[in-house]
Structure 1
Amino acid sequence: MMKSFSTTKHATIQMIVGLLLVLSSCYAQATQSPITFVVDDWCPYTCEPHSEKPGIAVEVINAVFGKDNVQFKSMEWRDAINAVEAGQADGLAAALTSDAPFFIFQKSAITTSTICFFVPQTLSWRYKDTTSLNDKNLITVEGFSYGEILDNYIAQTRRTNKNRIVELKDKDVAIQRFAFYQASENNVIVADNRVFNHQLQNYNQYQVPLKFHNGGCLVGEDLHIALSPKNKKRSLTLAHKFELGLQQLKSNGELAKILAKY
């Protein structure tokens, strides 16, 4: 009787150990290097990945997965979404859920993206709701999401009065934005607050300084990594690992240090 119990116990332990080894192997396969993320020029979230200040999202990704385990590909935003959707890369390094709602996201946000409206400093215009834009030309970027409310407004206005929605190409966005600023006081630039101010600071270093008035902002939206739906098992594993790592960065103060740099 004792021998039978001992044998059964030993077999159970072997089964548990075997199961753990299988799970460990599956996890390793699901997260094997390299982990590839696509970035566009959206500094300070995603800057030049190999520079001294690669961007908030890039630094967080490197801290969680390990710099040696991650590769970054640079491309324009619409191409980036298509590449990740097709499984040509693991994820977008920084995205709103409205950018690609069918992608896989981790639970917690890296930080918040706040979309604001910018007009020449000489104007007193303020954004209250979308009716504030009725006599304005809205300067947007092709393929970008600005949250549900503004996305719906843009889609509707594009159907009824498409000339009032200007969609810039993702390349050299800053130069295009500031050219429209100088073209007409009726133009309103919509952009992430951090990104716009970063672009303006860089532009003003080399050009005649421009001055803008922040006419108001939308409610901030959470910024995540967005993982490919093509390989769901791998993406879910990466999302789980990223969530755990992000929580650790928050608790030990490292995330706050990264944000403070930008």
Structure 2
Amino acid sequence: MSICRQLVARGLLLTLLGVAGWARAETLVIAGDIWCPVNCQPGAERPGIFVELAREIFAEAGIEVQYQALNWARTLQQVRRGELNAAIGAGVEDAPDFLFGSTPVASSRSCFFTLPDSTWHFSGTESLAEQRLGVINDYSYGDELNTYIALYHGDSERIQIAAGDKALALNIGKLMHGRVDVVLENAWVMQAMLASQGQAGGLREAGCRAPDVPIYLAFSPTLESSPRYVALFEQGVQRYRANGRLQALLAAYGVQGP
């Protein structure tokens, strides 16, 4: 082979390697506030159900998933603007303009938690009349509760809204110190948080809202890449449900699927 042909061949090889390297470098960024076991601490051995699932599914297409922990209001804002690819664990009511697959990863059951000596029980929004309820900024809790929260927003004797990266921990602290009477939160997220604080079983579950809310990896409505990512993730979720991998992942975190 002549020197010229060798150089051409070498150049073609380097070009192909460069293309392959570029393909491997494709990344998407997902985010959410710490909502373990849905999504846990970045860098943890078990970073959360949605994080592990997204990484496994997109790795099959040569796509790297990066995970960031941000407060929920900021997550929704940045995904909506296209600064991030997707929000973790969103329900359709959280961001109806986002792009969702047809298959939820799991369902969220929002329950009411009190101190152990309380006898109060949730039986509809009318039962909240004498309770100071702790919720989290920009969370959706279903139409009935969202309406109630909006109606009494600003009345600290009815509603107190926590914000920031540690909103749930803040609400638990307020409940422990008597600054709120009830905290509304996903049941297994609350259980995981209490366990991480060494307080497993430290609060009383006083009823849950119905029905459970399907939760998804919700993609940005402004990015051209989103429809492709939605399709890849949807196909992966369906495949993992069919072969049992999704159920095994949920079970590893102590969660049952929808």
Q: Measure the CA separation in 2 of the matches of 1:230 and 1:98.
A: 18
Q: In structure 1, give the amino acid aligned to 2:57.
A: V
Q: Measure the CA separation in 2 of the matches of 1:32 and 1:81.
A: 25
Matched, 1:223 2:228: no
Q: In structure 2, give the amino acid aligned to 1:117.
A: F
Q: Measure the CA separation in 2 of the matches of 1:48 and 1:66.
A: 20
* Contact 2:98–2:220 (8 Å) recurs in 1: yes
* Contact 1:119–1:181 (8 Å) recurs in 2: yes
Query: 1:24 maps to which residue?
Result: none
Q: Measure the CA separation in 2 of the matches of 1:171 and 1:90.
A: 19
Matched, 1:113 2:105: no
Query: 2:186 maps to which residue?
Result: 192
After superposition, give the CA deviation of every residue in 1:217-241 in whole Å (9 maximum; x if it has no partner): 112100101110112x421121111
Moved over 3 A (4+): none
The offset of 1:84, in angstroms, is: 0.6
Q: Which ranges in structure 2 are unaligned for 5 or more consecutive residues?
A: 1-21, 254-258
Q: Which ranges in structure 1 are unaligned for 5 or more consecutive residues?
A: 1-27
Q: 1:126/1:111 Cα in 2 relative to 1: closer, same or farther (>3 Å)? A: same
1:37 to 17, 22, 30: 30
The offset of 1:174, in angstroms, is: 4.2
Query: 1:73 maps to which residue?
Result: 68
2:148 to 126, 147, 153: 153
Share of identical aligned residues, percent?
27
After superposition, give the CA deviation of every residue in 1:31-56 in whole Å (9 maximum; x if it has no partner): 98211111321111011233211101
Structure with bigger gyration radius: 1
Q: Measure the CA separation in 2 of the matches of 1:189 and 1:130.
A: 14
* Contact 2:110–2:212 (8 Å) recurs in 1: yes
1:179 to 155, 168, 173: 173
The offset of 1:198, in angstroms, is: 0.7
Q: 1:185/1:79 Cα in 2 relative to 1: closer, same or farther (>3 Å)? A: closer
SS of residue paired to 1:92 = strand
Q: Measure the CA separation in 2 of the matches of 1:49 and 1:182.
A: 27
Alignment of 1:19-98 (within 5 A): 33-66=26-59, 69-98=64-93
Q: In structure 2, give the amino acid aligned to 1:195.
A: V
Count of matched residue pairs: 229
TM-score by length of 1: 0.81
Alignment of 1:7-18 (within 5 A): none
SS of residue paired to 2:87 = strand
Q: In structure 2, give the amino acid aligned to 1:54.
A: P
The offset of 1:162, in angstroms, is: 4.8
Query: 2:241 maps to which residue?
Result: 250
TM-score by length of 2: 0.82
Structure whose residues are more often helix by fraction: 1
The offset of 1:184, in angstroms, is: 2.5
Structure 1 window deviating more from structure 2 (173-182 vs 126-135): it is: 173-182
Q: In structure 2, give the amino acid aligned to 1:184.
A: G
The offset of 1:74, in angstroms, is: 2.3
* Contact 1:119–1:185 (8 Å) recurs in 2: no
Query: 2:132 maps to which residue?
Result: 137
* Contact 1:44–1:56 (8 Å) recurs in 2: yes
* Contact 1:126–1:216 (8 Å) recurs in 2: yes
Q: Measure the CA separation in 1 of the matches of 2:98 and 2:31.
A: 14
The offset of 1:168, in angstroms, is: 1.1
